[in-house]
Structure 1
Amino acid sequence: MLNILYFGDHRHFSTAFHRAKALERIGHKILRYHNPEETLPGYFKSAVMSAINFRSGYRLLQRHVQQDLEQIVQSGIKPDVIWVDNGEFFGKKCLQILKKFNCPIILYSIDDPTGKRDGRRFDSFLAAIKLYDLIAVVRKETEEECKLLGAKQVLRVMRSYDEVAHAPYENAAEIPLNFKSDVAFIGTWMRNENRDEFIKVLIDAGISVSIWGDRWPKSQHFELLKPYYRGSNLGGKDYIAAIQGAKICLGLLSKGNRDLHTTRSMEVPYAGGLLCAERTSEHTALYNDGTEAVFWNDAHECAAICKKLLAGDQLGHIKKAGMKKVRDLKLGNEDICKLILEKGLSNAI
């Protein structure tokens, strides 16, 4: 059993928390689960300051985060390993403080810290990159770029579902009617990603699309999309209900983040949904197209596939096959966390 000091990711709180619980399920002890944002002075948490911090690489926060970490060091806890999710708050001096624990420090990121989409957001992390004993990432480009920046050890993994949090309803009849749909998209509206344009093509083709997610009223097409908008981001059993209750679930990538698969690529089949996503090298390596998931090259092909599936009798077969495949691939949090820990401890310190 390892004693783990865990620093959660404030932007992906639920996924970070699920990973911490997965580490406990495989036999380790979380000495402390710490979200660095929670201990910041209140004025740093305003919308204006959050935007400034994001755009400046969290430079203004460094003194406060360093003081916070010093207090944790002085608390007397003795971790065997430190796990950092994302790491955007932690600059070089922060890592030097954590080094006082004299144990391996692992960073895991599902973001694209070496990419260009988020400007200077990851400047503090990039300044500290050489001090991590292992950096686990989910993109080939990120893997290569971290190595070029001097990272000691880089491991590329696939994203993961959570074995407990994303488990489907045992009795599908218990799924509330307000989460039933023909085609569902669960995700945030993002500037310059054209997700609204994509869904508009499906609606224009006569397909009923249910949308859950934040910031959709910002879309220039929101008046058209409004009748299909079912509410803000989902979590917990509501998230599972919307996946399992849909006949088809759309998996849209973030091009700005250089995605070739997303967490939805794993969570949807695991939770009993039918994944309908862009045809990429990683998606086609994961699932057999047409039998375990369905893939498309553009919105018009997606619309044609959805129409065919909704009119046919293959929905249940594909859902069942996709669910079996993602389990066979062992891409749950427990398996991925175990792999990261083994790699991080093998050559550390």
Structure 2
Amino acid sequence: MKILFIGGSRINARLRVRALEKLGHSVDFYEHDTITPFSEVFLLRLFRFRLAGIVDRLSAFCLKRKLRFQGPYDVVFLNQSRLLGPRSYRILREHTEKIVNYINDDPFGNCSVSYWRLLLDALPSCDLVAVSRGENVREAKELGAQHVLRVFFPADEKLHSPMELSEGDVEKWSSDVLFIGTCFPERGPFMSRLIELGVPLTIYGNGWEKSPEWHNLRHVVKGGAIYGKDYVKVIQCAKVAIGLLSKGNRDTSTRRSMEIPAIGTVLCAERTDEHLSLYKEGKEALFFDNADECANRCLSVLKDPIVLKEIGCAGRRRFLKNGTTNLEMMKKILAAV
């Protein structure tokens, strides 16, 4: 198939494009920032002033010019395109019979709903909406989506796998208990409690210096957000990696729920029905309900290198069995459209 993919500039969108190409499809990739002369960040600021309609008209005008000599496409695949509304979809419809929108955030329950206005308004124009949360299926249908598919967050079958590490990599990235993620209000107290209970913690991520608990955390925060191969290396060099959920996004699992086991490191994540359906507790992953239980799980497994290795290997085998990869997700979405 010939596919037009419109998505963000970060690596995850490119990994999905690569999965489509691996499946044998021809893909044209437009980043959100290349649709208009203005950046996505700038245009989203206009939403605060109720100018979303103007953004949609601008996007539609630019798409019409950009696609003049392109297509037709078998499928237009949108990866959470917030700058495109009903007008833009009408332009896309001139070049395809099938429009898919994959939504990995939670615009239905998000407090910043104004930023999602165009995406939500355009749901009835999609032939398929793929969402990452169970409750989003009903919510999307209530907003007029014709066909909604639930998919799990994916890891990438190629990038998120054990790598050959140099001595320098091991020296640079090794840690006992790792957390990678942005600082949210509930995460500062959680991490402080882990430190108080003696967990040998290492943190990478943005915004931690703004946390009220920064005085307790500053010695364990080693850097900001990490992407690509360095992201894989830092997880692979950790004995245990913690998986926290985003309360604002109503998560019951996240990308890290798949990426950490895929890389072969022990996942220690919040206990949810979804996590328990993905991995056998105590055998393929560790789960907790609060910071004290998280600390207990981490400290216990660190004492036994054999059990640590067994859980890491079993978690990777289960990940492969689950098939929660970009390749399988894209295959499932295209089969449903």
Deviation at 1:132, TM superposition (A): 0.3
SS in 1 for 2:177: strand
Residue type of the partner of 2:270?
Answer: E
Q: In the aligned structure 2, how far is the partner of 1:287 from the partner of 1:54?
A: 42
Q: 1:205: Cα distance to partner?
A: 0.7
Unaligned residue ranges in structure 2 (runs of 5+):
none
1:277 aligns with 2:269: yes
Equivalent of residue 130 in structure 1, options 119, 124, 134: 124
Structure 1: any 5+ residue segments left out of the alignment? 345-349
- Partners of 1:181 and 1:53 lie apart in 2 by 42
* Aligned twin of 2:93: 99
Q: 1:321 to 1:342 in 2, by over 3 A?
A: same
Matched, 1:245 2:237: yes
Residue in 1 aligned with 2:2? 3
Cα offset, 1:222, TM superposition: 1.4
Amino acid at match of 2:318: K
Q: Distance in 2 between matches of 1:212 and 1:174?
A: 19
One-letter identity of the residue aligned with 1:18: L
* Equivalent residue, structure 1, for 2:23: 26
Q: In 2, distance between residues paired with 1:55 and 1:264?
A: 35
Change in CA separation of 1:129 and 1:271 when aligned onto 2, cut-off 3 Å: same
Name which of structure 1's ranges 310-319 and 130-139 shifts more when overlaid on structure 2: 310-319
Give the match for residue 214 of structure 2.
222
CA 1:93/1:148 → structure 2, altered by over 3 Å: closer, same or farther?
same
Change (3 A) 1:315 1:43: closer
Instruction: Give the TM-score normalised by the residue count of structure 1.
Output: 0.91
State the identity %: 35
Deviation (angstroms), 1:39: 4.3
2:198 aligned residue (203, 206, 223) = 206
| Distance change >3 Å, CA 57–CA 261, structure 1 → 2 | farther
Cα-to-partner distance string for 1:68-92 (whole Å, 9 max, x where unaligned): 2112331233211100001211111
Q: TM-score, normalised by structure 2?
A: 0.94
Question: In the alignment, is residue 15 of structure 1 matched against residue 9 of structure 2?
Answer: no
Shift of 1:235: 1.0
Contact 2:86 2:122 in 1 (8 A): yes
- In the superposition, relative to structure 1, how do residues 131 and 284 fare at CA in structure 2: closer, same or farther (>3 Å)? same
Q: Find 1:150's aligned residue among 123, 144, 152.
A: 144
Aligned residue pairs, count: 336
- 1:234 paired with 2:230, answer no
**Residues in 1 aligned to 2:72 and 2:187: alpha-carbon distance in whole angstroms:** 46
Q: Name the structure 2 match of 1:115.
A: 109
Separation of aligned partners in 1, 2:4 and 2:198: 51
CA drift at 1:55: 8.0
Quote the Cα distance in structure 1 between the aligned partners of 2:113 and 2:70.
38
What SS class does the counterpart of residue 56 from structure 2 fall into?
A: helix
Alignment CA distance shift 1:54-1:195 (3 Å):
farther
5 Å-filtered alignment, 1:130-209, equals 130-170=124-164, 175-190=169-184, 192=185, 194-209=186-201
Q: d(CA) in 2 for partners of 1:55 and 1:22?
A: 38
SS of the residue aligned with 1:117? coil
- Mapped partners of 2:91, 2:68: distance in 1: 11
Question: Alignment partner for residue 336 of structure 1, among 326, 329, 334?
Answer: 329
Which structure 2 residues correspond to residues 289-308 of structure 1 after superposition, within 5 A?
289-308=281-300
**One-letter identity of the residue aligned with 1:28:** H
Give the counterpart letter for 1:270 in structure 2. A
Kept in 1: contact 2:264–2:316 (CA 8 A): yes
Query: Could you tell me whether the CA contact under 8 Å between 1:92 and 1:128 is conserved in 2?
Result: yes
Note the alpha carbon deviations across 1:83-107, whole angstroms, 9 max, x for none.
0001211111111111111320001
1:220 deviates by 1.2
Is the contact made by 2:76 and 2:96 (CA closer than 8 Å) also made in structure 1?
no
